[in-house]
């Protein structure tokens, strides 16, 4: 693709991030799945709401069984004290099969950093963008139980496969089994 087409697409899709404007983080939620229920598919989800759609930069490091998935949302800044309190609570979450660290960065680039650590054999991760009913832009990180998905996929043919390890974006109404 020609360089000028990439610039036009970047301006159209992510206007604030390219022009240096900040994108306010309006809300953040951490929905924890059933921590004591080893049969739950969804382990948790981390949801962010914004005025404009942010870019999501992603990198992953696997060391042994541990996966460290690093996300950076450039030009995003925390807009409300309520968000700061929610992030502090999320960062101090205990008794999870994964860990979350959310930090606000000023240098070398302004933005929000999200680090998710988990066991590659036990936990899967899928993230996507969405628009809420009130037309706020959002990013959701879903953590799911790979052990339960493997059991479901290996179950007898009488059970309808409701999820697939190769494509974890299959819609599942979590915790409704």
Alpha helices in the chain (DSSP H): 3-13, 15-19, 81-91, 146-154
pLDDT higher for 2 or 100? 100
pLDDT digits (tens, 9 = 90+) for 116-137: 999 999 999 999 999 888 888 9
Contact 67, 118 (CB under 8 A): yes
pLDDT tens profile 139-165: 999 999 888 888 877 765 545 545 455
* pTM, entire model: 0.74
DSSP 32-72: E--SS-TT-SEEEEEEEEESSPPP-EEEEEEETTEEEEEEE
Q: Assess whether pLDDT exceeds 80 at residue 89.
A: yes
Structure confidence at residue 37 (pLDDT): 60
- CATH no., domain 21-154: 2.60.40.3500
- Per-residue pLDDT reduced to its tens digit, 15-43: 544 456 899 999 999 998 766 666 778 88
What pLDDT score was predicted for residue 35?
Answer: 62
> Measured between alpha carbons, how far is 128 from 57 in angstroms, rounded to an integer?
12
Other CB atoms within 10 A of residue 149 CB: 20
Mean pLDDT of the 65-71 span: 95
């Amino acid at each position: 693709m020609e360089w000028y087409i990439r610039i036009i697409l970047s301006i159209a899709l992510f206007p604030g991030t390219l022009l240096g404007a900040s994108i306010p983080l309006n809300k953040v939620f951490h929905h924890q799945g059933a921590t004591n229920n080893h049969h739950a598919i969804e382990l948790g989800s981390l949801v962010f709401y914004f005025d404009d759609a942010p870019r999501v930069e992603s990198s992953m490091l696997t060391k042994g069984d541990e996966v460290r998935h690093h996300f950076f949302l450039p030009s995003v800044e925390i807009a409300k004290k309520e968000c700061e309190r929610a992030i502090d609570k999320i960062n101090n979450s205990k008794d999870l099969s994964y860990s979350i660290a959310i930090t606000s960065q000023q240098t070398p680039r302004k933005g929000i950093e999200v680090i998710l650590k988990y066991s590659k054999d036990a936990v899967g991760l899928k993230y996507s963008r969405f628009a809420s009913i009130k037309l706020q832009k959002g990013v959701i990180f879903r953590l799911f139980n790979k052990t339960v998905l493997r059991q479901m996929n290996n179950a007898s043919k009488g059970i309808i496969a409701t999820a697939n390890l190769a494509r974890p974006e299959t819609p599942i109404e979590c915790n409704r089994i």
